[in-house]
Amino acid sequence: MDNGYWILLVFLFLGAFIAAAAIATGKLLGFSSKAGGAKFKAYECGMETFGNARVQFKVGYVIFALIFLVFDVEALFLFPIAVHWNSIVDGSLGIPLWVAMVDLGFFFGVLLFGLAYSWKKGWLKWE
């Protein structure tokens, strides 16, 4: 073990020991929880709640948010090539222009396929 990996093992065991010691200290010194009626009541700004506090959201909202997140992250992947586009065009980056164009075409193809698929499934309808 002369290659320096022993320090990694020391930090791994030290981190595990500190985490276990913190959990054990919290269990030993912490207060025990009492299950009562007020513990599981929903708290709404000091007002008494009426009805069921656990409302189910329509799954369409979640799917719409996930689709937005996917397209947002994919738009983020376009920034590096947009920043280096002039270097790609003049050849100073070492990437041929046709490789960058094929890469962008494939990227936009996957993006358009995902949009068409979600449109066909009706996930973009806001009802």
Q: What is the pTM of this model?
A: 0.49
Q: Above 70 in pLDDT, residue 22?
A: yes
Is 102 part of any domain? yes
Q: Above 90 in pLDDT, residue 53?
A: no
Is 9 part of any domain? no
Is 76 part of any domain? yes
Is 13 part of any domain? no
Taking only the tens place, the pLDDT of each residue in 91-104 is 888 888 898 899 89
Q: Above 90 in pLDDT, residue 19?
A: yes
Is 38 part of any domain? no
User: By C-alpha distance, which of 80, 76, 81, 78 is closest to 97?
Assistant: 81
Is 89 part of any domain? yes
Residue 108 lies in domain: 59-121
Q: How far apart (Å, rounded) are the C-alpha atoms in residues 7 and 35?
A: 45
Considering its fold, how many domains does the chain have in total? 1
Instruction: Tell me if residue 104 falls in helix, strand or coil.
Output: helix
Is 42 part of any domain? no
Instruction: Tell me if residue 97 falls in helix, strand or coil.
Output: helix
